[in-house]
Amino acid sequence: MAGIGGGAARPLLYYTRAVWSRRVQRALVRMIVVALASVAVAARQAPEVVPSAVAALAMGLTLRQEFYKREVIPAIPPVELRFLLKPGPEDQAQRLVDSTRAALRRLSEWYGAFPFAQLTVIDAPWHSPWVGASYPGTVVTSTRWMSLERDASVERTLIGAIARQYWFGVIPADPARGWFEEGLVQYSGARAIDAELKGRHYWSARYFGGFMPFAIRSLPLSPAAPDARPSLRRFDELQRPVDAPWRRWVGRDGNEAERTATALVSLERYIGWPAMQQGLEAYRERFRAGTGTPGGLATVLSEQRGRDLSWFFAEAFRFPARFDYGIEHFSSVPEGSRYRTEVKLRRFGDAVFAGTVEPREASRARSLEVSIRFEDGTDVREWWDGRDPAVDLDYLSASPAILASVDPDAMLLLDADTSNNRRTLRRGVHVNGVRETLSWLMWLQDLVLTYSALV
């Protein structure tokens, strides 16, 4: 009985199954590709309308899901975390889990509750174009096969993508205003990266086709310096690729988004982090209906501080106006038994750091600090009303002046050319400069040895 239908029928059955199977597979693949293409288009045009699970599916297409972790962290309100991780060492997965929890906790402390009920973290393949993507409820990063503890690129990507989550739905989906949201995202991302990774991430690069990492221990990216302000304001992981589909603003000449981020760092240095943090938290709360504008942030911060800050926003976001305050002339020459010191300060750019909304005739603002240091150690501090295009300072002193500096505490990071901010009359040799020159010399010797070995 077992032989009935055997012989010719069995191969036919196998053939039919195989053909059917291939046809069905092809049809299914075609359907999935079409569906994912639609999702990708939708994600590009209006990311907030794409359900996170579908977006995750779209971006995780090539992901070989091996590890699925679901946990709830005690944020307010609770956020359910889901991790779609590719095969790899457990410690790498744990780095992602820990970083996600820490970033959520910190960002929620700063800016208020996480805006979604759940967050899906996708560990995409290393060459995925979606690394760094952030859509409502979904972020994408990529752990690497070769990784170093000191190279926190994966964490930076993840924290930057999570920071973006907090600004979804605050600013209208108006392409003309995308630069403000993008700048806000870059600023808050860099701020969170700096705070989260302080003292434990270093400058690093990947060599040999981008596979082999190497971190330079003598160059920490967020050093534990005496200055508590964030030291680095730009991270490649936040800005590259500039034309990524999840960005609200694609880099153009002058890059308004990058300037916005720098403007916000300058503002933070001007008003202080506590005021900035409270202002941003209140701004998110007030404009959660999606009506936020740069002017709205100016209003919130002005209300909180009791001083109108609209002068800052008017100039900082007037593109392509250029801030450039500097020293045109600095001299200190003997005059009798004393020294005459002349400092000519000049506003080279067309943007004005006014410090007040009042007219110039009404008051003199303390906008920018100027420091004159004398040989006997005296440090004279003056204020420059940033609305004045030029200021002349004149001193008669027992000791010659040796250094003049505009904005000595590097508050106005918007200054487009900081190389004219300091002038010195006693140029000493900067020991670190000599050391790094010798490092460069070694690099150059090695480079020419490498190339000359070929011929």
Candidate list 126, 270, 319, 348; residue touching another protein; CB under 8 A: 126
DSSP E strands: which ranges in 144-211?
202-207
Binds another protein (CB under 8 A): choice among 214, 273, 319, 383: 214
For residues 201 and 284, which CB has a smaller minimum distance to another protein in the complex?
201
For the chain, the first-to-last Cα distance in angstroms comes to 79
Give the phi and the psi of residue 77 in degrees, each rounded to 5. -75, 165
> 354: left (phi > 0), else alpha (psi -120 to 50), else beta?
alpha
List the x/- string, 24-63, binding to another protein by CB under 8 A. ----------------------------------------
Residue 297 — φ and ψ, nearest 5°? -65, -40
In residues, how long is the chain? Answer: 455
CB of 85 to another protein, least distance (A): 14
User: Which of 1, 8, 77, 145 forms a contact with another protein (CB under 8 A)?
Assistant: 145
Q: How far apart are CA 180 and CA 264, in angstroms?
A: 10
* Residue 137 contacts residue 167 (beta carbons within 8 Å): no
If binding is defined by CB under 8 A, does position 264 make contact with another protein?
Answer: no
Select the span of 46-54, 225-233, 255-263, 345-353 touching another protein (CB under 8 A). 225-233
Q: Which of 26, 49, 211, 381 binds another protein (CB under 8 A)?
A: 211
C-alpha 301/C-alpha 253 separation (Å) is 29
Q: Minimum Å distance from CB 147 to another protein?
A: 10
Please give the residues from 149 up to 208 whose contact with another protein meets the rule CB under 8 A: 203, 205, 207-208
Nearer to another protein, 100 or 405 (CB): 405
CA atoms within 13 A on the CB side of 132: 21
Q: Of the ranges 73-81, 131-139, 216-224, 284-292, which one interacts with another protein (CB under 8 A)?
A: 216-224
Is the distance from CB of 396 to CB of 335 less than 8 angstroms? yes
Q: Binders of another protein among 431-450, rule CB under 8 A?
A: 432-450
In whole angstroms, how close is the CB of 19 to another protein at the nearest point? 25
Build a one-symbol-per-residue string for 234-263: x at contacts with another protein by CB under 8 A, - elsewhere: x-----------------------------
- CA-to-CA distance for 273 and 284, rounded, in angstroms? 16
Stretch that binds another protein, among 46-54, 214-222, 290-298, 317-325 (CB under 8 A): 214-222
What is the number of helices (H) and of strands (E) in the chain? Answer: 11, 14
Count of CB atoms situated within 10 Å of the CB of 105:
16
